[in-house]
Amino acid sequence: MNLRPEEISSVIKAQIKRYESKLEAKDVGTIIQVGDGIARIHGLEKCMAGELLEFPGEVYGMALNLEEDNVGAVLLGSDEHIKEGDTVKRTERIVEVPVGEAMIGRVVNALGQPIDGKGPIKSEKFRPIESEAPGVIDRKSVHQPLQTGIKAIDSMIPIGRGQRELIIGDKQTGKTAIGIDTIINQKEENVICIYVAIGQKKSTVAQMVKTLEEHGAMDYTIIVSASASEPAPLQYIAPYAGCAIGEEFMYQGKDVLIIYDDLSKHAVAYRAMSLLLRRPPGREAYPGDVFYLHSRLLERAAKLSDELGGGSLTALPVIETQAGDVSAYIPTNVISITDGQIYLESELFYSGQRPAVNAGISVSRVGGDAQIKAMKKVAGKIKLELAQYRELAAFAQFGSELDKDTRERLDQGQRLMEILKQPQYKPIRVEDQVMIIYAAVNKYLKDIEVEALGRYEEELLEFMRNNHPEVGTTIKETGKLEEETENRLKAAIEEFNKLFLEKEKDRA
């Protein structure tokens, strides 16, 4: 094919006319200092606080310090291959995580990337990790119960959907166990659970995933893990990432439970980052905004108004104390932010009282409105009776001569303490709790040996299920213990007590 010169020139001219020159301006900076997971960057004049920055070698960072002549950024990965003089690009977006149904059942890191070996997460939607908490008008008062399945908590320190209840205690007192039991108990409650592991061993997280899988709880649970071996910035953003994942479901009108385990390690990671960024230290070397660190996270838990779909995000933050000192800096901060606390005591734990809940110091400031009427009716006296028991038990150590009334109160207190014991990973349905606590409070256990109460509880609940299922069903459906139901329950307990005492005689 022969082209004439004028044809060639006309084609070239046409192409020149169609050509549009596009100038692409990119805001880039140069690293002037790097080390300890921190980079100082010259340039990036339009950089935003909390913006995601792109470093060489597919490493990302987060801008935290915006100074006059440089930007202080924390690296969300290894700084091994990053050196002075390298170029850093802006991404022009705030750090965000994938959200949505695809996350359920997965174990992800603080950036929402899967770490469970089950392939990529197909999520279309992203949410920034930091977002504004719902305002006063957007909220509704807490009124629905969130059942933990733990007798000591559901009866005395009830938790409502949208509440923030702190779990506080020394190490090895069963704080995580309460969180895991609560997740397992949500199986039939239609609640999506998120567990954020901050600074924990990978083996501990793996064991927990296995436990949840065994109980079928991973079908509605997401685990966000920033383990102890990961850089402090990832531990710092993990709870915010977990919260963003939960908020997506909350704004869809669903109920969500999130557990932050634990915020003490979160504060330590933030302190390490702040000191490396040369922020001025305050009390216990924590930066001045460590209160705001936790308040802006926990304020995002809410029960939304009906106009916004009525969803809820319930937060159970965990704090580890040193030698039972709840008046330290971080514990007092988080106590003042939350709507109550469950205080676990090592003395109770080692004496065999598990869960080791100290009912005297533990409170739930808004949960009372969320408790079902049946539980409110039967459990009203428990706290007072236990407080009297503890006081009398302290005096009884000194005096051997006790009057009949004191002996009866001590016996009753002992039986109440025994009935509040519960094995791990065995949450109890609320209607069953009402029946067993009713028997304990109304002194139906006074003839039963303390050692036999564990057996008594199991057999009573089995007896009720087999012979009087309507009692449990009525409590579950109405949430009330009406006179007719109460009379049936009384008669059933009296009938069972005769059978049980005869069986115990034969056993002896």
Give 166-198 pLDDT, tens digit per residue. 999 999 999 999 999 999 999 999 999 999 999
Q: Tell me whether residue 169 is annotated as binding.
A: yes
Q: Which SS3 state, helix, strand or coil, does residue 251 take?
A: coil
Residues 169 and 320 sit within 8 Å (Cβ to Cβ): yes
Inter-helix orientation angle 382-396/404-419, to 10°: 120
User: Cα(230)–Cα(37) distance, rounded to whole angstroms?
Assistant: 11
Q: What is the pLDDT of residue 335?
A: 97
> Both tokens of residue 128?
């920034």
Residues 73 and 115 sit within 8 Å (Cβ to Cβ): no
Q: What is the pLDDT of residue 33?
A: 95
Q: Which of 93, 278, 283, 365 is catalytic?
A: 365
Beta strand spans in 27-82 (E): 28-35, 38-43, 51-55, 59-66, 71-75
Q: Tell me whether residue 172 is annotated as binding.
A: yes
Enter the DSSP assignment of 47.
P
Q: What is the pLDDT of residue 4?
A: 72
> Both tokens of residue 196?
């954020």
Inter-helix orientation angle 469-478/483-507, to 10°: 140
Inter-helix orientation angle 430-441/469-478, to 10°: 110
Fold (topology level) of 98-371: Rossmann fold (3.40.50)
Instruction: Name which of 394, 395, 456 is nearest 421 in CA terms.
Output: 456
Does the domain at 24-93 match CATH 2.40.30.20? Answer given as yes
pTM of the entire structure?
Answer: 0.92
Please name the residues in contact with 332: beta carbons below 8 A apart, sequence gap of 6 or more.
326
Amino acid residing at 127: R
Distances in Å between the alpha carbon of 143 and those of 159, 192, 305? 10, 18, 12
Q: Tell me whether residue 171 is annotated as binding.
A: yes
Q: Where are the domains of the chain?
A: 24-93, 98-371, 375-507
- Report which secondary-structure segment, H or E, holds 195: strand 191-198
Residues 69 and 84 sit within 8 Å (Cβ to Cβ): no
Residues listed for the chain: 508
Q: Tell me whether residue 211 is annotated as binding.
A: no
Q: Tell me whether residue 148 is annotated as binding.
A: no
> Both tokens of residue 359?
């009912």
Residues 38 and 67 sit within 8 Å (Cβ to Cβ): no
Instruction: Name which of 452, 459, 470 is nearest 508 in CA terms.
Output: 452
- Report which secondary-structure segment, H or E, holds 259: strand 255-261
Q: What is the pLDDT of residues 446-469, one digit of tens each?
A: 999 999 999 999 999 999 999 999
Amino acid residing at 165: E
Q: What is the pLDDT of residue 197?
A: 98
User: Cα(199)–Cα(264) distance, rounded to whole angstroms?
Assistant: 10
Active site residue 365: yes
User: Cα(390)–Cα(392) distance, rounded to whole angstroms?
Assistant: 6
Regarding beta strands 340-344 and 363-364, do their DSSP bridges make them parallel or antiparallel, or are they unpaired? antiparallel
Does the domain at 375-507 match CATH 1.10.1780.10? Answer given as no
Amino acid residing at 246: G
Q: What is the pLDDT of residue 269?
A: 97
Q: Tell me whether residue 175 is annotated as binding.
A: yes
Low-confidence residues of the chain, pLDDT below 50?
A: none
